[in-house]
Amino acid sequence: MDSQLVEARALEAEITALRRACVEPPAPGEDTSRVRKSFRETYQADSEGWELSKDLRSHLGHLESEIQFLSTLTGISIRHYSKKTEDLTSTEMTEKSIKKVLQRHRLSGNCHMITFQLEFQLLEIQNEESLSSVITDLSIIMEPTEYSELSEFVSRAEERRDLFMFFRSLHFFVEWCEYRKRTFKRFKEKYPEAVHLSEGASSSCMGIRNPSRPGFELVIVWRIQIDEEGKVLPKLDLLTKVPLQALELDKNGVIETAPLSFRTLLGVLGIEATLESLIKSLHTEASN
């Protein structure tokens, strides 16, 4: 009955306020200050609300800058997040003071050019001694799907319900992609006629040719792979395109062994120096 009394009082108060609002005659536009006053009177009770909103605004600003900072720190921007909680504690469990809760989380955002949408379930079981949290289901949607290496990785992460590995590998993958893009771009700018990027800046192949020696081309394929454990590793290969005549003249089999030599060179000089030396070798030979 007490709750009913409270409700009745609240309703009465609301009705009084609403009556006040109705009584004000509509001003046809001449006296704007009066209109302002009437609104202020109507919502007089919210005078504390003004103070609250000022505090709220500054606090909100602080929180938003914290998110911005985290996004810069991790490279991951979370745009939306929602959570639903379901209590699965049975009466038997409550007797033994065990609590079982299922949380459904939904998260979406992006890491550089890759956007993701995650849904996962977290089962929390709390007994007297400890709290165990287990991810019981994970589903990931990613765009863009042009990175084919990612689809296999995503299904592996989903299978293992390894949420942290997903973000970790995603970060390293993106880092390698950006590094590849920067490297290819740098070589393209430095040797514009020799270097050819078939798919543009984010292509995975770089072609080296010499305009004065058509028919010869070295293609460097730079793939970024994610292994079973979630480790991100670059894999570079060399493909050669050589006219038949040149092949016949190649007594030492240099062209045949080129891919292998390329790998060895990578191990010695590293990626950038190896690529540069290849470009130079084709380039300078022609200019001689």
Partner 1 sequence: MELANTLSQDGESRGGVLAHLERLETQVSRSRKKMEEPQSAQAEESALGTRIHELRRLRDKLRAEVKQHQASVKASTTNVEPDQTLEITEQESLKRKWENVKAILQAYRFTGISGKLTSRGVCVCISTAFEGNLLDSYFVDLVMRKPLQIHHHSIPVFIPLEEISAKYLQTNIQHFLFTLCEYLNAYSGRKYQADRLQSDFEAFLAGPLQRNSLCNLLSFTYKAEPEGQSFPFCARLLYKDLTTTLPTDVTVTYQGSIFF
Contact set for partner 1, span 120-159 (CB under 8 A): 120, 122, 132-136, 138
Find tokens 């970790």 and name the residue.
Answer: 168
- The answer to the question of residue 59 lying near partner 1 (CB under 8 A) is yes
Check if the beta carbon of residue 194 is closer than 8 Å to that of residue 180. no
Q: Between helices 2-23 and 32-42, what is the axis angle to 10°?
A: 170
Which ranges of the chain does DSSP label H, i.e. alpha helix? 2-23, 32-42, 47-74, 91-95, 148-160, 163-190, 244-249, 254-269, 271-287
Question: Applying CB under 8 A, which of residues 40, 84, 235, 241 lies at the interface with partner 1?
Answer: 40
Q: Distance between CA atoms of 72 and 66, rounded to whole angstroms?
A: 10
Size of the site for partner 1 (CB under 8 A): 72
237 binds partner 1 (CB under 8 A): no
The verdict on 179 binding partner 1 (CB under 8 A) reads no
Contact residue for partner 1 among 214, 229, 251, 252 (CB under 8 A): 229
Q: Is 197 helix (H, G, I), strand (E, B) or coil?
A: coil
Q: Which is nearer to partner 1, 169 or 210 (CB)?
A: 169
Question: Does 107 interact with partner 1 (rule: CB under 8 A)?
Answer: yes
Q: Does residue 233 bind partner 1 (CB under 8 A)?
A: no
| Alpha carbon distance 282, 284 (integer Å) | 6
Residue 44 touching partner 1 (CB under 8 A): no
Q: How far is the CB of 63 from partner 1 (least distance, A)?
A: 5
Q: Give the nearer residue to partner 1 in terms of CB position, either 3 or 252.
A: 3
Binding part of the chain for partner 1, among 69-77, 139-147, 187-195, 253-261 by CB under 8 A, reads 69-77
Q: Is 32 in the site for partner 1 (CB under 8 A)?
A: yes
3-state secondary structure of 180: helix
Among 50, 152, 234, 260, interactor with partner 1 by CB under 8 A:
50
Query: Whole-number minimum distance, CB 134 to partner 1, in Å?
Result: 5
Residue 161: Cβ within 10 Å count: 16
Rounded distance between C-alpha atoms, residue 165 and residue 81, angstroms: 19
Q: What tokens appear for 84 in the block?
A: 């639903």
- Of 35 and 197, which has the nearer Cβ to partner 1? 35
Among 140, 142, 150, 163, contact with partner 1 (rule: CB under 8 A): 163
**Of residues 32, 28, 161, the one with CA closest to residue 105:** 161
